[in-house]
């Protein structure tokens, strides 16, 4: 597929290890993208105690132990358990069989599972995970109650074109517009693995009147022809706002992400033909 993700659906609620996971799997199978959210309180330490938690966290166990007694220890445990369960749903494995790893910029990935990409955001008591089999994904989560308009952040995060659009918008809509732009810019730069190193005033977005698909713009408002990217904002669950950026790397519609069957059939066929040709006796037709 060369036109980006065809649809980014609203986030699916899971209430702990028991899911429900079927809707998440269905979104990933049908669209190549799934968004999942959960309350942090729904991810307590597992009933198996410390040994079971160590098994689930894997290499993140050491980091969790460093955070022991600090306020963000529970958040770290909850988000890592959520990430592992989302990834396990995608690849058909048990959560303890997967290992989360971190790139040079701190970007998350699942070791040995290049067929999927995932990203995490959290605010207040809610965490959001985006996962895709198409290429790259970045997500960001904010609450509509956060006040950013009038804080002085506008020149830092907006392009000249966006500042003009913001000035033309009704006063009552400006805070939400800024939050929608913020979530999209965070999501885009996280998908790229750059974070705040990519200045937000260097790229903008054309937003629909309500949440939905947005379009990437240059600083002066000209559209950017990057059809392999899809940008969406979604409102859900008591005033939360999610931004998602998905890049389709042209892997086609082979959305089989299972660990045992993730190899593309066309790739396997080419490899088989080359292997067979290498063993043909000389002088053959």
Q: Is the pLDDT of residue 68 over 80?
A: yes
Alpha helices in 35-72 (DSSP H): 49-57, 60-66
Position 73 in a domain: yes
For 12-51, the pLDDT digits (tens) are: 999 999 999 999 999 999 999 999 999 999 999 999 999 9
The answer for residues whose C-beta is within 8 angstroms of residue 157's C-beta and 6 or more apart is 178, 181, 182, 185, 200, 201
Q: Are 105 and 189 in contact (CB under 8 A)?
A: no
What confidence category does residue 251 fall into, taking pLDDT thresholds of 50, 70 and 90?
confident
What is the side-by-side order of every strand in the sheet holding 135-143?
135-143, 240-248, 229-236, 213-217, 204-206
Record the pTM.
0.87
Task: Answer whether residue 128 is part of any domain.
Answer: yes
Task: Note whether residue 20 is domain-resident.
Answer: yes
Number of domains in the chain: 1
Q: Does a structural domain hold residue 54?
A: yes
Q: Say yes or no to pLDDT of 262 above 70.
A: no
Note the pLDDT of residue 284: 44
The pLDDT assigned to 211 comes to 83
Question: 200 is written with which tokens?
Answer: 């937000």
Of 62, 45, 47, give the one whose Cα is nearest residue 99: 62
Mean pLDDT for the chain? 89
Residue range of the domain that includes 252: 12-143+227-278
236 occurs within a structural domain: yes
Mean pLDDT value across residues 182-201:
91
For the segment 82-103, the average pLDDT, to the nearest whole number, is 97
Is 200 domain-assigned?
no
Would you say residue 171 lies in a domain? no
Residue 212 near residue 233, CB atoms below 8 Å: yes
Domain for residue 92, yes or no? Answer: yes
CATH number at residue 48: 3.90.470.20
């Amino acid at each position: 597929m060369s036109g980006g993700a065809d649809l980014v659906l609203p986030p699916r609620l899971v209430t702990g290890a028991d899911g429900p996971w079927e809707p998440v799997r269905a979104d990933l199978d049908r669209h190549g993208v799934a968004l999942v959210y959960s309350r942090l309180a729904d991810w307590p330490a597992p009933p198996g105690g410390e040994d079971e938690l160590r098994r689930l966290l894997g290499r993140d166990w050491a980091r969790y132990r460093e955070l022991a007694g600090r306020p963000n220890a529970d958040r770290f445990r909850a988000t890592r358990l959520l990430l592992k369960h989302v990834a396990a749903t995608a690849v058909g494995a048990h959560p303890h069989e997967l290992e989360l790893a971190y790139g040079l910029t701190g970007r998350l990935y699942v070791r040995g599972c290049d067929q999927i990409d995932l990203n995490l955001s959290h605010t207040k008591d809610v965490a959001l995970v985006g996962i895709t089999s198409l290429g790259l994904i970045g997500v960001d989560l904010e609450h509509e109650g956060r006040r950013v308009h009038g804080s002085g952040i506008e020149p830092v995060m907006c392009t000249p074109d966006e500042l003009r659009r913001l000035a033309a918008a009704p006063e009552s809509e400006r805070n939400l517009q800024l939050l929608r732009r913020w979530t999209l810019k965070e999501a885009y730069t996280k998908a790229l693995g750059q974070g705040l190193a990519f200045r937000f005033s260097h790229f903008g977005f054309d937003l629909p009147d309500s949440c939905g698909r947005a379009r990437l713009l240059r600083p002066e408002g000209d559209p950017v022809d990057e059809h392999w990217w899809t940008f969406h904002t979604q409102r859900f669950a008591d005033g939360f706002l999610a931004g998602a950026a998905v890049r389709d790397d042209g892997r086609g519609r082979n959305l089989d992400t299972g660990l045992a069957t993730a190899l593309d059939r066309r790739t396997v066929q080419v490899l088989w033909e080359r292997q067979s040709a290498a063993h043909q006796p000389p002088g053959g037709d």
